[in-house]
Amino acid sequence: MYKEIFKWVILIISQPAKAWDLLAQKEEKGDEFLSRFVYPLIGLLTVAAFLGILFTRKEFDVELALKASIRSLLAAFGGFYLGAYLLNEIWQGVFKREKDFRLCQRFVGYSSSLMFALNAVLMLIPEFFFLRIFILYTFYIIWEGAPLYMYVEEKERLKFVGIASAVILIIPYLIEVILFLLMPGLRS
């Protein structure tokens, strides 16, 4: 299963147009996408946060590692679901399309692949903080996926990419900031 996940993540990052074309043809039953792609990626991110704190700090602090993994889990999980919900609402309200929560979930999940992978790497190797700039590549991933996966027309493409990118990139960050402010026990 993880081999297939890594294959999709690498394909989405390296060749987004080809990946979106293949994903548009792929049939997924029910919540298969969640259990075979999103949840394992979020799980890897959570484990990376735990291990990153344990092995990159001078002191061996399990409590701090647990706090970091909880914060990562809540930000990724909440960001995914809230992002999919907001995109679904915007899909109907702004773009006048019929609501399709599963389609929006899949789009947000696949578009977040780079963000999940990059966050996992940065949790394990925090010295590579400069890699955060590559998160902007998510705009291009969404740009390629808009017409191929979401069937967005060319005249609405830029507006869709701007809105979807803002939702996908900002929501997890906002959740993490809110957790930081409201739950001082989760500060690492």
CA distances from 16 to 34, 45, 115, 169 (A): 20, 22, 14, 17
Any idea which residue has 């977040």 for tokens?
112
**Over its length of 188 residues, how does the chain's per-residue pLDDT go in tens digits?**
789 999 999 999 999 999 999 999 988 887 888 999 999 999 999 999 999 988 887 777 888 888 889 999 999 999 999 999 999 999 999 999 999 999 999 999 999 999 999 999 999 998 998 999 999 999 999 999 999 999 999 999 999 999 999 999 999 999 999 988 887 766 65
User: Which residues contact residue 132 at a Cβ distance below 8 angstroms, ignoring those fewer than 6 apart?
Assistant: 118, 122
Q: State if pTM tops 0.75.
A: yes
Neighbours of 52 (CB within 10 A): 21
